[in-house]
A = this chain, B = another copy of it.
Amino acid sequence: MSGDKPKTYSIKELACDFGVTPRTLRHYEDQGLISPERQGQNRIYSAEDRVRLAWILRGKRVGFSLSEIGEMLDLYDLGDGREKQRAVTAERCRDRIRALEAQRDDINATIEELQEFSELISNLKRDKKKGVWIRRDTGQPLQKYEP
């Protein structure tokens, strides 16, 4: 009735859906990040695999290595479920969060500096007499890094 054909994907389908190559997916499998089912030899990817892959790729975009991503995915598998183990898992989770927050701060700082700089050079003009660059807003001449 409802779950007749849960929609699966071939390796190439899934790959170009996400803008990567089949080789990449096989590589992720070698690293234990995804384990699609098989029809004979061929890999069959499920909707869950899609979600996992999305996670992996976002992990990559924010700068994690494959093994780090592997660890994080392992967290989702909850280990053996013992209390202690779960406490460790939760703590690792929070570590990651802290690292990500620090990274976000870095990004914000970088954005700000780029923003300032972009505005600076957009507002720059030439003082014909002195042959020097000055800022249209403050009228100040350019300090460091004069061209």
Chain A contact residues, CB within 8 Å of chain B: 48, 58-59, 61-63, 72, 75-81, 86, 89-90, 93-94, 96-97, 100-101, 103-104, 106-111, 114-115, 117-118, 121-122, 124, 126, 133, 144-145, 147
Contacts and interface: CB of A to CB of B under 8 A. Distances in A.
Contacts of A117: 75-76, 93
Contacts of A78: 121, 145, 147
B118 A93 contact: yes
B75 A93 contact: no
A104 B76 CA distance: 23
Given A117-B93, A121-B89, A124-B86, A110 B48 contact: no
A71 to B, nearest CB: 12
Contacts of A144: 48
B48 A86 contact: no
Contact of A145 (B76, B90, B96, B97): B76
Residue of A63, A79, A94 with highest tally of chain B CB at under 10 A: A63
